[in-house]
Structures are given as structure tokens and as C-alpha cells.
Structure 1
Amino acid sequence: MQSAAQYNLEHVDAEGSAGTDRLALSGHLTLAHIGPLEQALTQIPGPVDTIDLSGVEEIDTVGAYVVCRLARTHDSAITGASPAAGRLLTAVRGIDEGGDIRARRMPVWTRVPAALGEKVYGARDGAVGVIGFFGQILIGGVKLIRHPSRFPIKALVHQMELVGISALPIIGLMSFLIGIVIAQQGSVQLEQFGAESLTVNLVGRITLRELGVLMTAIMVAGRSGSAFAAQIGTMKLTEEIDAMRTIGISPIEVLVIPRILAATFMMILLGFYASAMAIIGGAVVGDVTLGIPFITFLMRIQEVVPVHDLWVGLIKAPVFGLIVALAGCYHGMQVHGNSEEIGRRTTQAVVSAIFAVIVIDAFFAVFFTEIGWG
């Protein structure tokens, strides 16, 4: 039967000195026996000059840790340890002393250029990856054109329902409220110049040219773009995409192209629908607060809004849909490692899609102004 761990604290007198306090440990300093001893050792009030381990029969990592912690607390010397116990004490000594374990931070004049360089190289790799991904889509599209029977028509219809039909309520409500806000705030500002009637022009042109399509693209990016990234990323993580390649099915043809076509086509309808709902919202405000009858507001839209404003929105819509779908599918295909990567890539898909849409919208604004559609 193994003996329990014990201790004995005694004062050793020496000639010509005040003497020292010696703590003698004995028995088995192991995980199974050291529990009561550890509680007793923490209650020792006085200083301990020496910890004697000559009576210790067995010691493990836990026992060595307790001895080292006690020695550090009382600034004691450890004596009488066997060679094996000494090696164990050396290994665990200082294991919980703390301190700053972080790497030394570089100066700001070194750190900032290094971080900027990493971002540049990361953007370069991302651009190369997107171009390569787009090339795979073109190759897959050519193959489907050459072999129409392989086209996943059911997947396309399903994605059109998810991207377009299912999004009608939220996009309609959002656009209706945006139209109300534009009309109400615009009328307040125009009232200062006695031009409340120009609220019709404001609502019609800004919704058809810009906000209708832009806000729809942002909503589709947050709703469908994130879904694309999460769905494809989950399939990538569970090796379903690898299984598809193994049996001879192209993930680009089956997963990516239907989603891209659905987002591209449905953005045209959603953009027009959003603009119409925003105009209806503006007409409601005009009828309630400005005294402009609802039907008169809608008829006035036809007179003051040029037809090319409608075409501007319809031209931008499929481009925005393509960008959103590309971002979602690309980041979904880049998922690897663990489930945390799905969340990170989904966030990147939404952020990059919204950023790209706003940048492209700015280019469209300059382009249409230059051709006389400003």
C-alpha cells in the first residue's frame, strides 16, 4: 500500500546563526495522494528556507509543480531530490511564472509597410483567383452550350425562385419605405424654395437610376450572396464537391452557373420591381402630405422621368447580379479547413460584393454622364 504524502516543518539551529526553517516532505507526491498535502502547504505562514525531498518515495508532474510553486512562494532551496525528481523539477520549474509571451512588436515604421505589403500581395492573389474562377465559369458555360442536354434547368429554376420570388416581400417593403423617406425628406428641403412639386422628379429619377437597383443589389448580396457562399462552403467542407468531381460531375456546371444565371436574370426584375415600389411609396407621401393625388403622381412620373433613366437601371441590374453571384460562389469554393472558415468566407462574400457593386455603380455614373444620359 502506498504511503500518503506528508510534511514536517522544523527549525534547525546552527552555531553562530539564527538557524533555518526546513520543510521535509515524504511519501508519494503524486496526483492520487497530494491533494490533502497541497491544502496544508498553502496554510504554512512562516518562511521556509529549505525544502527537503530526501524522504519522497515517488513524485510525478503534479507533485513537482506543487514543490516548485511552494519554493517560489517562500524563496526556498530544494534539497535531497533524486536524479529523476531533479530532472522533473527542472522541467516544470517556471511553468506558471507568467510574463509576456508575445513576440516583440516591430516599430510602426516597419510594421505598417509590412502590413501594407501583405495586403497588396493578398489582393493580387485574390485577383488572380477571381480571374481563374471566372475562366472556369466560361469554360463550363461553353461546355453547356455544346451539350445543352447537360444544362441543369431544374437547378436554375430553383435558384431563380430562391433569389427572385422569395425576395419579393422584403425587397418590396424596403423599396416602399425608401420611397417614402425620399419623398418626405425631399419635400421638406424643396419646400424652402417653393418647389414641392419637384418631389415627383426627385423620387422618379433617383429610384429608377440609382437607389432602386443599388439597394436591391445590396439586399441580394446580404440575402442570396451569403447563402451561395454558405451552401457551397458547407458542401466543400463536407467533401461533397470532391465526391461530385470523382463521379464526373462538374461543380461549376451544377452549382455555380445556375446560381450566377439566376442572380443575373432576377436582378433585372427585382430592380424594376424595387423602383416601382419606391415610386408607389413616394406617391403615397405625395397624396398624404403634399396634396398630389396618387394617380396624378404616377402620371407625372411618365412626363418628368426620361426613358433613358429606366434603361440606366435595367443595364446596371444584371451587372450587379453577376457581381453578387460571383462573390458568393467564389468565396464558397475557397472554404477549407474547419467550420469557422464558412463564417469568415460568408462575411467576405457579402462585404466584397457590396464594395464591388458600389465601385461599379460609380463607374456607371461617370460613363452614363459622358454619353449624355446624366
Structure 2
Amino acid sequence: MSSDPGPGQFQFTPMAGAACLRLSGDWTLAHHGALAQQLQTLQPPLAADCQIDCSELGALDTAGASLLLQLLGSERLQQLSQDASALTPERRALLGAVARAMQATQAQAAPAPAPASSAIGDLLEQAGRAMQGFWRHGVGLSGFIGLTLETGLRLLPRPRRWRLTAFAAQLESTGLHALPIVALLTFLVGAVVAFLGATVLQTFGASLYTVHLVAFAFLRELGVLLAAILVAGRTASAFAAQIGSMRADEEIDALRVMGLDPVELLVLPRVLALLVALPILGLVAMASGVAGGMLVCALQLDISPAMFFSVIEQQIGLRHFVVGLSKAPVFAFLIAVIGCLEGFKVAGSAQSVGEHTTSAVVQSIFVVIVVDAVAALFFMEMGW
């Protein structure tokens, strides 16, 4: 080996019937550009039986080792690093480290084999994920209900901490402003129910029972249910958007820093306001639905308002009105708690506010209908 080998080179020479790759010169960073251009001219890959001659190899550094890796490949470079007769221990350690690093990089970059899947397996996986999410949401809602009740009971003997101004403002927003739409909608639904009853019952000569149909439907089920669905779409979304916007603007964190309880300040006034507003809205919905049915009976069936109310007074028991109105506080509490909880779940962006507002509406309507169905079955089994 000469004292100044010069820039690194490689050439193929025949040797005992097989090709031999002869490495010479300095494979260092100073000659990296020239060596890289030479490597670009090498088109075919290195044959497996090709021998490597490193006897004339000069200086070697990490840049040169990376070029040798490109020329030989990681496996051949690993083999060369283990050949004690070809290189000094320092150069063999350098080539071995470069080869191992490249193999580790290739192993990490290699895509993991896709697990075998089937339609049934995917369906069961989705069902399992849905049930797991439903369970987590149920646990979170139960915990928030408990926190709300605990805060309310803690403040009950402390009138000075009652938020009467916030309660009055929320009562106006959730109750007074919702009266027109609730009254109009239930009036129209009452008219439709009476039309359907008149169309069917008139065929059997039992038009008078249209009064029973309208009274039973609105006093026992439809009055409070329609009012609760309207409140769920109108008020639950408002609660989620209001609290969610405060969450996004970090106002909730500011309240906690100031030593104020967000549940006491934001949740309780809304829950109490809806507990008062929804029974009133349910009562208005019952009256409007019955009024719509009475109008259709007077115009279509020649049943006067006096006769209409006389039938209700004599044949419709007061328990149907009590059963229907008793569900209003339960609906109100669940709607308010779900709306506030979804507001607290907002992550901090406008998209998150929209997603949780939509979720509050969907969950509130779903819970209202499920609870109403369970209550109807319970009251029927109890004979009420």
C-alpha cells in the first residue's frame, strides 16, 4: 500500500473464473462526490460469487463506508466486516456499525404485514368498540349526574350562594322563549291526530272516540314528549355551545383559578331553570294539542267544544294528566345534564364545539325517547 493512494476507486478484474472487485485509494469525505459519480455508472448489482480485494484500500471514514454500503449492500458489507484477513479491526468495526445501522433502518421502514381480516371479524370489532364507547359514556354521564346532585345538595342550605340572577336568565331563555314554538307545534300535531282518528273511527260510527284519542295521546304521552324533544333540540344545543365556547376560550380554567366551581356557577342554574320550565312547557303542549284536536272535532265531526270538554271531564281520569306531567322533571334533568356535559367535553376548537353540540342534541332526544318508552311500559304494568 502506497503512502498516498489518492482518491478512492473500484474496478472489476477477472480472477480464477469469477469477477473480483478491487478497492483502492482513499474512501473519505474529501472524495465523496467523485466516488458517488462513479457508483452511478454501476448498473448491474454485485454478483454473489464476486470476490472483494481490499489490499490497496487507503483511508476510510464514515462517508466512505456509506459509499461501500451502496456498492456492496448491507449483507456483503456485514460479511466484509467479519473478515479478519481483509481489514484492520478498526475498519471492520466501522463497516460493521454502518451495516447494522442500515439493517435496523430497513427493518423499521419495512411495513408491518397486514393482519388477516374478515367481514365477520370486522363487524364484531366495530360492535365491540361501539359497546366500549357506550359504556365509557354511560359511566361519565353517571359521574356527572352524581357531581351535579352533590353540588346541589351542598348548596341547598346556603341561600347566599344561590345564583338567582343566572337562574332567572336561563328560565327566560329556556322557558319563555320556547313557548310559541311549543304551542304551535303541538297544536298542529293535535289537529293531525284528530284528523287521523276521525278518518278511521268515522268508518265504524265511533267518531265520538276521537275525543278520547286526542285526550289520551296528549295528556299521557305526546304533550310532554313533544315539548321535551323540542327542548332537547333547542336548549341542549344551547347549553353545549355556551359552555363549549367558554371551554375553548379557557374561561372554565379561569373560573377554577379564581376558586369558583364551574358546576355551581354554570350547571346548577341551567338544570334548575329547565326543571321549572319543562313542566310548564309540557302543560302548554297538552293544552295546545287538545285545542288542536277540539278544533278539528268541531269542524269535521260536529262535536261542539262543550261536548268535547264534557267527554274529557267524565271519561278521562286525572291520573293520565298526572302520569304525563310526572315525566317532565326527569326529562328536564337529563336534557340539561347531557347538554352541560357535552359542553365540558369540548377540546378547544370550533370543530369540537360543533361536534359536541350535535352530540348533545342526538343524545338528549335518544335518552328522552328511551326513558319515555320505559316509563310507558312501567305505568302500563302498574295499571296506572
Question: Normalising by the residue count of structure 2, what TM-score does the alignment of the two structures yield?
Answer: 0.70
Q: Could you say what secondary structure the match of 1:146 adopts?
A: coil
The equivalences for 1:151-170 within 5 A come to: 151-170=162-181
Alignment counterpart, residue 315 of structure 1, candidates 326, 334, 344: 326
- Residue aligning to 1:293: 304
Cα distance per residue 1:131-162 (max 9 Å; x no partner): 21112112211231232201101111111111
AA partner of residue 267 (structure 2): V
- 2:141 counterpart residue number: 130
Q: Residues 185 and 149 from structure 1, CA distance in 2 versus in 1: closer, same or farther, beyond 3 angstroms?
A: same
Shift in Å at residue 232 of structure 1? Answer: 0.7
Aligned to 1:244: 255
The residue that corresponds to 1:220 in the other structure is: 231
Amino acid across the alignment from 1:347: T
Moved more, 228-237 or 128-137: 128-137
Question: Aligned equivalents of 2:278 and 2:212: distance in 1?
Answer: 24
The correspondence for 2:185, drawn from 174, 179, 191, is 174
Aligned twin of 2:220: 209
Deviation of 1:166 after TM superposition, in Å, equals 0.4
CA distance in 2, matches of 1:148, 1:322: 21
Instruction: Report the CA distance shift for 1:245/1:297 in structure 2 as closer, same or farther (over 3 A).
Output: same
Name the structure 1 match of 2:354. Answer: 343
**1: CA distance, partners of 2:250 / 2:116:** 40
Which structure is larger by alpha-carbon Rg, 1 or 2?
A: 2
Q: What is the letter of the counterpart of residue 156 of structure 1?
A: F
Give the Cα–Cα distance (whole angstroms) in 1 for the partners of residues 277 and 165 of structure 2. Answer: 16
1:1-374 to 2 correspondences below 5 Å: 106-373=117-384
**Deviation of residue 249 (structure 1)?**
1.1
Distance 1:224 1:347 in 2: 12
- Change in Cα spacing, 1:111 to 1:369, as seen in structure 2 (3 Å) is same
Q: 1:49 is matched with which residue?
A: none
The aligned amino acid for 1:160 is: L
- Provide the secondary structure at the position in 2 that maps to 1:196: coil
Q: Distance in 1 between matches of 2:321 and 2:41?
A: 90
What secondary structure is seen at the aligned counterpart in 2 of 1:192?
Answer: helix
Deviations 1:13-43 (A, max 9, x none): xxxxxxxxxxxxxxxxxxxxxxxxxxxxxxx
Q: Secondary structure at the match of 1:248?
A: coil
Contact 2:249-2:348 at 8 Å conserved across structures: no
**Cα distance, 1:271–1:290 mapped onto 2, change above 3 Å:** same
Question: What is the CA RMSD across the aligned residues, in angstroms?
Answer: 3.0
Equivalent residue of 1:123, what SS?
A: helix
Normalised by the length of structure 1, the TM-score is 0.71
State the AA in 2 paired with 1:140: T
Distance 1:350 1:277 in 2: 24
Code of the aligned partner of 2:196: Q
Distance 1:285 1:114, change over 3 A: same
CA deviation digits over 1:31-62, x for unaligned, max 9?
Answer: xxxxxxxxxxxxxxxxxxxxxxx9xxxxxxxx
State the alpha-carbon separation in 2 of the partners of residues 179 and 286 from structure 1.
Answer: 11
1:191-212 CA distances to partner (integer Å, 9 max, x unpaired)?
1111001111110111000001
Q: Which amino acid aligns with 2:124?
A: P
Give the fraction of aligned pairs with identical amino acids, expressed as a percent: 43
Cα drift, residue 106 of structure 1: 3.5
List 4+ stretches of structure 1 deviating above 4 A: none
Count of matched residue positions in the alignment of Structure 1 and Structure 2? 290
Q: Equivalents in 2 of 1:174, 1:104: separation in Å?
A: 54
Aligned amino acid, residue 281 of structure 1: G
SS at match of 2:260: coil
